[in-house]
Chains A and B, each alone.
Chain A
């Protein structure tokens, strides 16, 4: 009976993954053929253990077995936030490649750019309470699937979404296609489209304000905290800097990425935030320890840049 169930599960999953896979997924994730070999890296092949076959004691421990600091099974080291190899595949000269150990697009959980992180998403399955999860900003409510781990956001079996983001996050359907460079994965530039805000909004719905003026004082009072409008286009040319690359906002050497949406590129949550963790330093008046989400006075709320540099890149003052 157990064996039959396992075989059924395997058949179902392979059928599902085979039919829904739009693009080739990285590493051992998806693109499975109807053999069970492809599952071995994450599931035990030892049939005698029966029901244990699919039981993983900790998703975080499993993922970091390959994506951890040792890079023993992947080039992306999400703990230190580095891509371990050179990222220029056309470089055949063998020259010292300055891109070795370049920062990961998603940030890092323990370190980022060589510095200990000042905030990260709690993926060690210890917390389920998310800010603005169907409740006002500044309040928390538990996620539908229990404590958060890597699989809350990523589907280890592959998905048609960018970076194998789950088709359903926290029970909400999410659609983030990979843009640029077709199906080719390049981990050196963001390849997400406008749907990227929806990933965050699946767990922080009340932060997803898309109407003009939603960052004004009145809205703040009404919904319980500061939020910035997202999913609107941004372009800037003027004194103090130019928006040279339409997908990157730059000012004084600082840069923020925009989502590619054709002609006018959009501001999304990830324009200001990193999804894994950040080592940005918060001091002085930018230190908002008392605000929700900030577990300590130096918590950087996953922001990409130090202090309020995040604001200055666009509101060049």
Chain B
């Protein structure tokens, strides 16, 4: 134990000053200065208010702060009632929050963003809890929800209200395309199902009550995990299938199409399995910045790798020890202001990098290990609505935290 020496109160009491006219003058000057400052501030506020009247927008946007003078966000509140959540996405209007669970019945929950109220829960049809594992989610421009499922080795697509639409079972095959190829076309109203554990695919003609089975579709050894839909509609998927791991970029047509019955996208792949340059081990996400550069969130190599717009490897960052280093990077999000948010599951925080320049710049980290408000216990994903509302999936604390600037 060390004790700090605190000055005794008698020492302070000894100092007594006499009022002098000079001092009076000084005080007056100071008051004037304060008044001027207040005037300036109220003018500034008035200008902001006028601007707001003409074009309503959140305060940070109005002020258009440069990235350099950034500050960490603060904790607002938490959404509870989710069981070991791992992934999240927000609807385009910001009203609905989608959360994937790995505990309990492993459902995807739709939560009202403002109130934290549960609106609906859904899951891949025809699967039992031990047969599904929804992980990461993304929402397209029209609000449809895409969910990767590590046990099903597929991406399931739902409407914004959780109605099942289709399944991407290989980079060049959807369930509806498969059924259509088997039947020579897909009559209106045909329903279909898929479950990798049941070695087959099923369809139900419109109006019928029985399901007809079809041979197992080829799943081509792919394991979609990380998922991002960019502002221009491209879809990035990290494929973590052992030894053949890669990042797959799908064209925007994949997320703008009405349905996926005709599915033969021209996708590109880059990166490979390993520890070297341009490689990764269990990439949990892939992103694109405003300059078209690609980022892989390289979980088990504890780093972030960067490719240029032509998918040529550039460099990696975030490895080693110290401030900007990541331990086990997982879900990530790139906002409109080129801020890269990365959840560090073992670091127990969110790390933020500015990526508008040539080199990424570590800005700050927020959160720490714990169970209190604003503390994390194996967080796994982060998603923003706009540039101000941050949702962080706090797995072992069974909640989603909401932070704001």
Contact = CB atoms under 8 A, between A and B. Distances in A.
A82 B327 contact: no
B328 interface: yes
A110 B240 CA distance: 24
A75 B326 CA distance: 22
A73 B282 CA distance: 6
B133 A69 contact: yes
A222 interface: no
Contacts of A42: 327-328, 346
Nearest to A55: B369
B300 interface: yes
Given A43-B346, A100-B196, A116-B130, A84 B150 contact: yes
B102 A73 contact: no
B130 A43 contact: no
A215 interface: no
A50 to B, nearest CB: 12
A186 interface: no
B372 to A, nearest CB: 13
A40 B346 contact: yes
A71 B150 contact: yes
A73 B380 CA distance: 12
Interface stretch (B20-28, B69-77, B217-225): B217-225
A61 B347 contact: no
A71 B224 CA distance: 11
A129 B303 CA distance: 41
A61 B346 CA distance: 10
A40 B377 contact: no
Q: Interface majority SS on B: helix, strand, loop or mixed?
A: loop
A73 B223 CA distance: 12
Contacts of B323: 46, 48
Interface stretch (B36-44, B54-62, B89-97, B314-322): B314-322
A27 B102 CA distance: 22
Given A27-B300, A45-B325, A69-B102, A101 B196 contact: yes
A114 interface: yes
Interface string A17-57: 00000000001100000001100111111111100100001
A65 interface: yes
A265 to B, nearest CB: 30
B243 interface: yes
Interface string B321-365: 111011110100000000000000111110000000000000001
A263 interface: no
A66 B218 CA distance: 27
Contact of B327 (A44, A80, A94): A44
A71 B220 CA distance: 18
A70 B130 contact: no
A91 to B, nearest CB: 9
A145 B161 CA distance: 49
Contact of A94 (B221, B282, B321): B221
A174 B52 CA distance: 71
B326 A40 contact: yes
A181 interface: no
A72 B377 contact: no
A110 B130 contact: yes
Interface string A57-77: 110011001101111111101
A114 B197 contact: yes
B223 to A, nearest CB: 7
A284 interface: no
Interface string A119-133: 000000000000000
A75 B347 contact: no
A86 B299 contact: no
Given A70-B86, A72-B86, A77-B151, A85 B220 contact: no
Given A28-B300, A62-B346, A72 B330 contact: yes
A80 B130 contact: yes
A48 B349 CA distance: 13
A86 B153 CA distance: 11
Of the listed residues A49, A86, A96, A101, the one surrounded by the most CB atoms of chain B closer than 10 A to its CB is A96
Of the listed residues B217, B322, B327, the one surrounded by the most CB atoms of chain A closer than 10 A to its CB is B327
A114 B196 contact: no
A68 B396 CA distance: 12
A94 B102 CA distance: 29
A41 B300 contact: yes
Contacts of A69: 102, 106, 133, 150-151
Of the listed residues B130, B199, B219, B328, the one surrounded by the most CB atoms of chain A closer than 10 A to its CB is B130
B192 interface: no
B328 A41 contact: yes
Contact of B320 (A45, A72, A94): A45
Nearest to A52: B369
Given A68-B102, A72-B330, A84-B153, 15 more contacts: A41-B327, A43-B327, A44-B347, A46-B327, A61-B377, A61-B395, A65-B380, A70-B150, A71-B150, A72-B284, A72-B299, A89-B243, A96-B216, A100-B153, A101-B197
Interface of A: 27-28, 36-37, 40-49, 52, 57-58, 61-62, 65-66, 68-75, 77, 80, 82, 84-86, 89, 94-98, 100-101, 110-111, 114-116
CB-CB nearest 3 A-B residue pairs: A111-B130, A40-B302, A71-B150
